[in-house]
Structure 1
């Protein structure tokens, strides 16, 4: 996927998140937003998977630990969802880890527990 396609898909993800936030409002469980965003992306014709396993490798060996990313869009963009009062550095570390472990270039950390979803929409680019 080229840069223009990623940017267009990013706009669609933001629009989908805005739609979900308008429909559901803040203050719900993260799992509610995950399922609603997944459905909204699918309604827009965008392929998305949720709870995608992320294996951990060290020196070419798979370790006995799997992480799960909330949503993977078009097999290219990682989405990590939150429904918290304040995003913490550990939340940034989580999305950065998923990007690095999967070698994906673009990810979004979206916090739905905000008055305006744009305030909770954070973009991460993998430069590793």
Structure 2
């Protein structure tokens, strides 16, 4: 029997995502969605880091090249997109971030759609 990873926290995050989409609709830019999400995190006293810089993945890689949109409670990576369709590259990006930060759960959401469907992406090698 499988166990849901971080059920309470991910439920809160998804609630915020739906609330933000209901408030702003589908035609804003990523920064506008991020700003409103951040306000909701603050109002719920959720610990988060915005645009957390990932460590370089190879020796000569420039620092600050990769950033996660949000790291919530040092557990869940939240990656926002504002595009017509999500691609495999978007999923691979979240998987890379999960691996780089050694986290178990990422949530990928595309705000451009009429109805959002946050995607849970798991890293079976991640630690709590």
Alignment match, 1:64:
62
Moved more, 23-32 or 63-72: 63-72
Mark the runs of 5 or more structure 1 residues left unpaired by the alignment: none
Tell whether the 8 Å contact from 1:38 to 1:49 is kept in structure 2 after alignment. no
Greater helix share, structure number: 1
TM-score (norm 1): 0.87
Q: Call closer, same or farther: CA 1:103–1:62 in 2, change over 3 Å.
A: farther
- Which secondary structure state, in structure 2, belongs to the residue aligned with residue 85 of structure 1? coil
Distance of 1:105 and 1:62 partners within structure 2: 27
Root mean square deviation of aligned Cα: 1.8
Q: CA deviation at 1:43?
A: 1.1
TM-score (norm 2): 0.87
Q: Call closer, same or farther: CA 1:62–1:43 in 2, change over 3 Å.
A: farther
- Corresponding pairs, count: 122
1:92-124 deviation per Cα after TM superposition (whole angstroms, max 9, x unaligned): 11101000000001110011111112x3x1101
Distance of 2:96 and 2:60 partners within structure 1: 16
Mark the runs of 5 or more structure 2 residues left unpaired by the alignment: none
Runs of 4+ in structure 1 off by over 6 angstroms are none
